[in-house]
Amino acid sequence: MMIEDHGYSYQMWDALLNEIYGVLQKQLSASDMAALKIQQRQWIKDRDAAAQKRYDEEGGGSLSRVVQTEELAKQTKERCYGLVNSYMK
């Protein structure tokens, strides 16, 4: 059941990230938002690469999916906090 726990955690943080992003779209200037979009695309690539690395390191079995999803949740949570701390003062 660990995969479901981490999957739920990831979905929760991902939904919150989308919410934060939506608020920032209304609050930031067009140039700041354009810069954030570029950063966000790179962040998604980095997050997914880090999760894939964890998966590969685990050897591709069922536990690999757990650590991959755990990494997605951890990185997405950190991104939520990072965006709030950087932009919502």
Condensed to tens digits (0 to 9), the pLDDT of residues 54-72 reads 999 999 888 899 999 999 9
Contact 22, 36 (CB under 8 A): no
Does a structural domain hold residue 53?
A: yes
Does a structural domain hold residue 36?
A: yes
What is the reported pLDDT for 4? 80
Summarize the confidence of residues 10-28 as an average pLDDT. 96
Structural domain harbouring 81: 2-15+29-87
Q: CA of 13: how far to CAs of 21, 24, 32, 34, in Å?
A: 12, 16, 23, 23
Contact 39, 18 (CB under 8 A): no
Does a structural domain hold residue 9?
A: yes
Q: How many CA atoms lie within 13 A of 21 on its CB side?
A: 16
Does a structural domain hold residue 20?
A: no
Q: How many CA atoms lie within 13 A of 16 on its CB side?
A: 17
- In this structure, the dihedral spanned by the alpha carbons of residues 77, 71, 66 and 54, taken in order and rounded to 10 degrees, is 180
Model pTM?
A: 0.90
